[in-house]
Amino acid sequence: MKAVTYINSVLKICFLAFIGWLISHLFFFQVLYVDSGSMQNELFEGDYIVVNKLAYGARLPITPLSLPFSSSTSYLNWLHLPYIRIPGYSHISRNDVIVFNLPTDDKVPVDERELYIKRCVALPGDVMRIDRGEIFINNKVQDETGSQTKITISPKNFYNPNFFPNNSRFHWNLDWFGPITIPKKGDSVKLTIDNLDLYRRIIEKYENNKLEIKGLDVYINSKKSNSYVFKMNYYFTLGDNRHNSIDSRYWGFVPEDHIIGRASLMAYSKTTDTTALKKRSSFSFIK
């Protein structure tokens, strides 16, 4: 009898510990493994960081019937909840290092998509451009926080179809990009055939509308539309290791419902590069 009581007590403790961990994982903090060098020298491959979900407010699960730490196939697709975020104690700021779900991973629900970590360089409503590798926000050059890798600058007007919006009208590349206005919730944008590719994914994928082109006219939900009002805020991200980073230059804007939290604390780093460690600015303590 004592053995049964002891086992029941242990199981109860394990169950309560799991519930406590699950709540913490969903609403407070999450440990993330850095598996690329796109944020070097701020973050290195093999680093473990703590993602602070309280900062911007925790996003409630969109597919609640899923297994933590499982692959993207371990969820039940028939139950989807609307996007809801608990209010946080701060807002996303320029140069925050943020963690988010990959926007282009359309085969799975938003909260089951691959995790990315990048630096937020432009906020909703900002006008952003990259000239000769330098970032300009609202026509002001930015003193960048990250320690970017400097290499040969790409030629101006060199069109690369891999870069957003993947249209030859926009001769953008790694070091020459924009100008582009970051969509802000409630703002209206004029729609034309020439600029539609900048907003097509927002209208169709992120904000769930039916988009059609008939001749030179744009139809949204079967209604001719000369403009569109954004339903969400969007952000523009870059990797610090600029020429070795897949970021917003490739996929465009990051929707607010994809954002998980702010990378705030270095949990573990295996790098032995003491010079690089001294240059780190964002991960010595929770901000």
Q: What is the pLDDT of residues 57-88, one digit of tens each?
A: 989 888 866 666 554 556 667 677 888 899 98
Place of tokens 């701060």: 90
CATH of domain 29-159+235-279: 2.10.109.10
Nearest to 236 by CA among 113, 105, 124, 133: 124
pLDDT-based confidence at 287, cuts 50/70/90?
Answer: very low
Between CA 71 and CA 55 the distance in angstroms is 26
Q: What residues have CB less than 8 Å from 235, skipping those under 6 apart?
A: 92, 98, 120, 122, 123, 124, 182, 248, 253, 254, 256, 259
Q: Which residue has the higher pLDDT, 201 or 151?
A: 201
Contact at 8 Å (CB) between 162 and 170?
no
Q: Hey, where are the domains in the chain? A: 29-159+235-279
Place of tokens 């993947």: 166
Between CA 221 and CA 108 the distance in angstroms is 24
What integer is the mean pLDDT of 117-128?
96
pLDDT above 50 for 286: no
Between CA 236 and CA 121 the distance in angstroms is 6
pLDDT-based confidence at 209, cuts 50/70/90?
Answer: very high
Contact at 8 Å (CB) between 44 and 269?
yes
CB-based burial label for 110 (10 Å; 0-12, 13-18, 19+)? buried
Q: What is the pLDDT of residues 7-24, one digit of tens each?
A: 767 677 776 666 665 666
Q: What residues have CB less than 8 Å from 13, skipping those under 6 apart?
A: none
The residue type at 190: K
The three-class DSSP label of residue 169 is: coil
> What pLDDT, on a 0 to 100 scale, did the predictor assign at position 80?
79
